[in-house]
Amino acid sequence: MRGNRRDPLGNMRFRLEIDRMQHTGAVEIVFPEARIVRTQRKARSTDYGTLSIRRGVTASDEWFDWWDQSRRSKTALKRNVAVILLDERGNDVNRWLFVDATPLGYRVSNLNALGDEVLIETLELSVADLKASFGSRSRAKPKK
């Protein structure tokens, strides 16, 4: 077993980092499924599902702007997205780096005059590659 930790880590302490963005806090991250695919032309490749990130709506327009610029641009606006799992003391434990992520979808949750829930913004991303580091190796950013 790699690393010193034997007990399972919780899913509630994490940090989100997106290249060239400052306001990236998230309340939920849905990891994409990664599947090895064998084809006749290639020995094997990896297909990735959609990475979904969700946060409470704030005055920041960074997520919408990235999506909006991507839909209006002739070339995809790629960014790396890092999800860092934290331990109970706030230290980095594991890191997943989603390489060349591009926006696919943008959504804001429903408004409800009778409710009092947080308004949630969702950004759905395609990813080109996934790199991961675990335990003490996660403190250094994975190499591209």
**pLDDT at position 1:** 41
Asked whether residue 6 is domain-assigned, the answer is no
CATH number, domain of 91, equals 2.30.110.20
Backbone phi and psi for residue 24, each to the nearest 5 degrees, phi listed first = -115, 10
Report the sign of the C-alpha dihedral through residues 90, 2, 32, 105, in that order: positive
Range of the domain at 36: 14-138
| β-sheet bridge partners, residue 54 | 28, 122
Asked whether residue 70 is domain-assigned, the answer is yes
Q: Could you tell me if 46 and 98 are in contact, meaning their C-beta atoms sit under 8 angstroms apart?
A: no
Give the count of domains, the chain. 1
Asked whether residue 5 is domain-assigned, the answer is no
Asked whether residue 97 is domain-assigned, the answer is yes
DSSP 84-139: EEE-TTS-EEEEEEEEEEEEEEEEEPPP-TT--PPPEEEEEEE-SEEEEEEGGGGG
Find tokens 């998230």 and name the residue: 26
Asked whether residue 4 is domain-assigned, the answer is no
**pLDDT at position 24:** 80
Asked whether residue 27 is domain-assigned, the answer is yes
Asked whether residue 9 is domain-assigned, the answer is no
Q: Which of 15, 34, 8, 4 is nearest to 95 (CA)?
A: 15
Asked whether residue 118 is domain-assigned, the answer is yes
Render each residue's pLDDT in the chain as its tens digit; 144 residues.
Answer: 445 656 888 899 999 999 999 878 899 999 999 999 887 776 788 999 999 999 999 999 999 999 999 999 998 899 999 999 999 999 999 999 999 999 999 999 999 999 999 999 999 999 999 999 998 665 555 554
